[in-house]
């Protein structure tokens, strides 16, 4: 069963999403989507479809992302990190489960990396399309011209026809956090099981980013490189491999 849900974050904004409720479960999964994706995006939908029948699975829109509350121009990664606590609070208060797994993809993996050590309720973490160095990662999300526009105008305006973000404005504060948030420091504080999965052909270099993050992490940990896979594991056989590794890790 798939149920539409909503809950408040600590700033009083409404966060919306979906909960997949299998007939039997003892493990819950919370999925953190990438940027500028949503809970209805490609990765989130696949997570719900393939993990939802096995585990209680929540996929939600971060604040400042349709259809959740807040203007997109005011989006910050630090606010998304705060939203994770609100999502866990909601799931814990609404459903009963024994284990909790946090999954993050791309920017959602950044959020999960920064938050995981803060919450004892999290039993395991899975990161896909992850980065190690946020200062370097700015170039994966923004073009040279967009970075110039941030400094010149204090914001950018997206031009992506047929995408919800087309015409949306984003303030420079979002870009500034790439040089302030410390993923290595956060991941070194996390001491529970960690799985990092990365595509060999991801635009984010696996050796400079995902594997570099893996080397900093505490045991127990696993690193899986999916040969030939892109950032979103678009090919069905690549995604099938990702799901297999996730299920094995979650247990």
pLDDT per residue over 133-172, tens digit each?
A: 999 999 999 999 999 999 999 999 999 999 999 999 999 9
Please, what is the Cα angle at 137 between 135 and 142, to 5 degrees?
105
Residues of the chain with confidence (pLDDT) below 70 = none
* CB-based burial label for 23 (10 Å; 0-12, 13-18, 19+): exposed
Question: Which two three-digit tokens encode residue 126?
Answer: 């899975």
pLDDT of residue 63: 98
pLDDT of residue 60: 98
pLDDT of residue 134: 96
Q: Which strand (E) or helix (H) includes residue 214?
A: helix 211-216
- Say how many CA atoms lie within 13 Å of 88 toward its Cβ: 21
Given the candidates 3.60.130.10, 3.40.190.10, 3.40.50.1820, 3.40.50.300, the CATH classification of the domain at 2-138+182-250 is 3.40.50.1820
Domain boundaries, the chain: 2-138+182-250
Cβ count within 10 A of residue 201: 13
Q: Which residue, 127, 90, 97, 85, is CA-closest to 22?
A: 97
pLDDT of residue 89: 98
Cα first-last separation, the chain: 21
pLDDT of residue 22: 98
Question: Are the CB atoms for 123 and 101 separated by under 8 Å?
Answer: yes
Render pLDDT for 113-130 as a digit per residue (tens, 0 to 9).
999 999 999 999 999 999
Q: Whole-model pTM?
A: 0.98
pLDDT of residue 165: 96
Q: What is each CA distance from 156 to 74, 147, 166, 170, in whole angstroms?
A: 12, 8, 11, 5
């Amino acid at each position: 069963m798939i149920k539409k849900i909503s809950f408040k974050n600590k700033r009083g904004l409404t966060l919306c999403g979906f909960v997949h409720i299998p007939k039997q479960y003892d493990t819950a999964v919370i999925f953190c989507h990438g940027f500028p994706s949503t809970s209805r995006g490609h990765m989130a939908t696949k997570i719900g479809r393939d993990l939802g029948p096995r585990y209680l699975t929540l996929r939600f829109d971060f604040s400042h992302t349709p259809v959740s509350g807040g203007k997109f121009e005011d989006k910050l990664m630090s606010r998304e990190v705060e939203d994770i606590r609100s999502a866990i609070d909601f799931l814990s208060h609404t459903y009963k489960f024994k284990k909790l797994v946090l999954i993050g993809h791309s920017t959602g993996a950044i959020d999960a990396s920064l938050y995981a050590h803060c919450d004892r309720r999290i039993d395991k973490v899975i990161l896909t399309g992850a980065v190690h160095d946020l200062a370097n990662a700015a170039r994966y999300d923004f073009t040279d011209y967009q970075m110039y526009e941030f400094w010149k105008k204090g914001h950018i305006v997206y031009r992506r026809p047929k995408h919800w973000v087309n015409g949306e404005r984003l303030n420079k504060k979002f870009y500034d956090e790439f040089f302030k948030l410390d993923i290595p420091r956060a991941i070194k504080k996390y001491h529970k099981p960690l799985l990092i999965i990365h595509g060999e052909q991801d635009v984010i270099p696996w050796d400079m980013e995902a594997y570099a993050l893996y080397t900093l992490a505490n045991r127990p940990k696993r690193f899986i490189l999916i040969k030939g896979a892109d950032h979103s594991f678009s090919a069905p056989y690549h995604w099938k491999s990702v799901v297999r590794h996730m299920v094995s890790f979650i247990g």
